[in-house]
Amino acid sequence: MEIKNFSMDYYDEVYELWKKTGLTVTKSDSREGVKIMLERNPDLFLIGIENDKLVCVVYGGFDGRRGFVHHLAVDPQFQRKGLGKMMMEELEKRFKRMNVEKIHLFIEKRNLGVIEFYKRLGWYLRDDLVIMSFVPDEENEKE
Ligand SMILES: CC(C)(COP(=O)(O)OP(=O)(O)OC[C@H]1O[C@@H](n2cnc3c(N)ncnc32)[C@H](O)[C@@H]1OP(=O)(O)O)[C@@H](O)C(=O)NCCC(=O)NCCS
């Protein structure tokens, strides 16, 4: 598999993959939202291509203090072949190059099975934190 930087040409395929793998997609994952994320983090938005087919995606963000991982997805037909691990290792390498001290990710409670996947990559579970959110514009979704 070849890992490449995402470009907007792949947007439709990426969006389909997120939906297909059951990830929650919101307004932030619209074409406009993704464009903003890409402009801020051009080297942290990765896609995996095998035989001209998009098979995985992950997007990272760095806010200047902490790194975040969003929306890792591997096409179901290509899961359990080490591709998710490859994507995460490439992303972690890129965060390291940017001297990011710590990286976080969110897992929905309905998807706790993936904890084991991340643990195998060296991630550890936090039981000392809870997440709170605030939506500045009421027009936006609360997810
Ligand atoms: C989670 C996901 C990205 C894993 O990708 P993958 O390519 O199947 O994972 P890999 O083959 O690279 O697995 C790496 C290791 O984790 C293990 N693993 C992968 N998925 C696992 C799971 N659901 N439960 C337990 N272990 C798992 C593998 O067995 C492998 O272990 P090994 O290195 O000891 O052999 C993929 O299942 C997926 O796209 N899920 C749907 C979307 C999703 O939930 N994304 C995460 C949002 S937080």
What CATH code is carried by the domain that includes residue 57? 3.40.630.30
pLDDT digits (tens, 9 = 90+) for 38-52: 999 999 999 999 999
Burial of 137 (0-12, 13-18, 19+ CB in 10 A): exposed
Predicted confidence (pLDDT) at residue 143 exceeds the cutoff of 80: no
Ligand 1 pocket: which of 14, 47, 68, 80 to mutate (most atoms within 8 A of CB): 80
Instruction: Determine, yes or no, domain membership for 10.
Output: yes
Instruction: Determine, yes or no, domain membership for 137.
Output: no
Distance 26 CA to ligand 1 centre (A): 23
Q: Mean of the pLDDT values across residues 10-36?
A: 97
Residue of the CA atom closest to atom 43 of ligand 1: 73
Instruction: Determine, yes or no, domain membership for 135.
Output: no
Q: Is 89 helix (H, G, I), strand (E, B) or coil?
A: helix
Distance 80 CA to ligand 1 centre (A): 6
- Structure token digits, residue 13: 């395929």
What is the secondary structure of 27-72 as a DSSP string? GGGSHHHHHHHHHH-TTSEEEEEETTEEEEEEEEEE-SS-EEEEEE
Instruction: Determine, yes or no, domain membership for 31.
Output: yes
**Number of structural domains found in the chain:** 1
Which residues line the pocket of ligand 1, CB cutoff 6 A?
Answer: 21, 23, 72-74, 79-85, 107, 111, 113-114, 116-117, 120
Instruction: Determine, yes or no, domain membership for 143.
Output: no
Instruction: Determine, yes or no, domain membership for 129.
Output: no
How does residue 2 score in pLDDT terms, banded at 50, 70 and 90? very high
Residue percentage of the chain with pLDDT more than 70:
98
Residue of the CA atom closest to atom 27 of ligand 1: 117
User: Rounded to two decimals, what is the model's pTM?
Assistant: 0.96
Instruction: Determine, yes or no, domain membership for 140.
Output: no
